[in-house]
Structure 1
Amino acid sequence: MLSVNVSKVKGVKKVPQGEIVLVENHGVLGDAHAGDWHRQVSMLSKSSIDKARSWGIDVSFGDFAENITIDGVDVWKLPIGTKVYINDAILEVTQIGKECHDRCAVAKMVGKCVMPIEGIFLKVLKGGTVKPNDKVVFVLPR
């Protein structure tokens, strides 16, 4: 895991943190997207950020409003139902991509957005504290 990111309001870049607390059936403590729904946590691959950089856009971790930035796995290729283990926390992939509303604040700030196609969303099944460099294990559904 490369980065963990939080924002207090929706539709803006998230700010990298030293650690975040994942709360069961809620999401990231203090994050605007947390709540009792299926998109409690968002995740994006570094390869998606690198793609945006290849378009000439100066972006970094959290700029696409993702809570967790991952390296080494193209998360949008994971099937729904994939379990994600980070320390004691357990998450489950609930959605891949999203319908992007008309020119969200993120797209306005960075020019284009990769989240609608390559971002994924997860529900927190078991909470825990996670931070950059923690090991992430993906277990595909049977």
Structure 2
Amino acid sequence: MAKVLTVNLAHPRPNPDKGLLLTGIDKRPTAEPVEVRAPGPKQGGLGSGLVGDVLGDTDNHGGESQAVYAYAREDLDDWARTLGRDLSNGQFGENLTTSGVDVTGALIGERWQIGDEVVLEVAVPRIPCRTFAGWLAEHQWIKTFTKAAIPGAYLRVQTPGKVRAGDRLTVLDRPEHDVTIGLVFRALTLEPELLPQLLVADALPEETKERARRRTGFQLDD
């Protein structure tokens, strides 16, 4: 059965990469139910989709299409073996550590029900940043993470409510296209030639679709 193993909230700490700015990368499991709501726009909105969570860099994180970040425990376990170290739930900065669902293979626009109330929509992959690299403290981490192309998924909030550890995760529906989180990540990082393939995914953020349109126009002009 697919489920949420833990719900993880930030323990804010100074961000060494950005002066005195705090970072919320240090996320730890909570035993309490957590309210999930649509946070509004990236600039001027509420930041995270989880009440009680903290985002340090709201210029680049948060907003409707990055409301909730999910990462699979199975993928954390693979990384733990690769890196030769323990990785706790929340260690990648994820809000939801999941089990039994292929997060990288999730389709853009796929909808997940969490527990009895919350419905989330798969929106876009996580792109690694220097804060993430500094937190993991692994040599050339951004390069390693990007090459592996197992990014985890950001999700939009379709129906608000409360989530808690152990909640069942049900895939309600999947769109007919084949644009997965993994494909989008590869297109946005090392394989930009894949960008035109993303345009069939209506649920992609507009900025991502615009990038794909520009690439398509460039190819047609050739």
- TM-score of the aligned structures, taking structure 1 as reference length: 0.85
- Backbone CA RMSD of aligned residues: 2.5
- 2:80 alignment partner AA: R
Does the CA-based 8 Å contact 2:111-2:174 persist in structure 1? yes
Determine which structure has the larger strand proportion and give its number: 1
List 4+ stretches of structure 1 deviating above 6 A: none
- 1:58 alignment partner AA: D
Give structure 1 stretches of 5+ with no counterpart.
Answer: none
**1:78 deviation in Å?**
0.5
Q: 1:30 aligns with which of 38, 52, 57?
A: 52
Determine which structure has the larger helix proportion and give its number: 2
- 2:109 alignment partner AA: G
- 2:121 alignment partner AA: E
Matches within 5 A, 1:1-142: 1-9=4-12, 10-18=23-31, 19-25=33-39, 27-33=49-55, 35-55=62-82, 56-86=84-114, 87-98=116-127, 100-102=128-130, 104=132, 105-108=134-137, 112=141, 117-138=150-171, 139-142=173-176
Closer/same/farther in 2, CA of residues 60 and 111 from structure 1, 3 Å limit: farther
Count of matched residue pairs: 141
Give structure 2 stretches of 5+ with no counterpart.
Answer: 13-22, 41-48, 56-60, 177-222
- 2:64 alignment partner AA: W
Separation in 1 of the partners of 2:34 and 2:154? 16
Does the CA-based 8 Å contact 1:96-1:121 persist in structure 2? yes
Closer/same/farther in 2, CA of residues 11 and 117 from structure 1, 3 Å limit: farther
